[in-house]
Amino acid sequence: MGKLKALILAAWRIVVRFWQIISRPSAYLPLGFLTLGGFVCGVIFWGGFNTTLEITNTKKFCTSCHEMRDNVYQELQQTVHFTNRSGVRATCPDCHVPHNWTDKIARKMQASKEVWGKIFGTISTREKFLDMRQLPLLGRHGLHQADPPGGRHT
């Protein structure tokens, strides 16, 4: 029992010492170390954040859930955006994710609703998906803005 008490007391001292350092780091650590540490942590965070943004802008990511793969991707394969004479394919982010950084972040926040729908099953069937469907398109060159009957782009 005495060893357990000593171990708990030692752990508590470590927690208290750690709290003293993080609550007033400039009293214990040099300013240069804190500045360099902040810079390195910022670079690591920014790199991870941008890497995550790039990963979520791929066809593989977009079609990783059955709702997109079985609904939207199947529709895309029947369009000129997927199969055409030039062989150039438009993928999901080309039309559904803005290129401007602030607009891209806003779209990613909107996409969190789609994740919510996936988690809670509000888009788990084709019928539910069509009822909840929204097409956040960029509207580049007037595409998808005013398609005539038959869906041909101007």
- Cα(141)–Cα(82) distance, rounded to whole angstroms? 18
Say what the pLDDT of residue 135 is.
55
CB burial readout 122-137, b (16+ within 10 A) else e: bbeeeeebeeeeeeee
Distances (CA, A) of 63 to 16, 70, 73, 83, 117: 48, 8, 7, 18, 15
Q: Tell me the pTM.
A: 0.58
Give pLDDT tens digits for 92-142: 888 888 888 899 899 888 888 778 888 888 888 888 877 777 655 554 444
pLDDT tens digits, one per residue of 6-57? 999 999 999 999 998 888 887 878 888 889 999 999 999 999 999 998 898 8
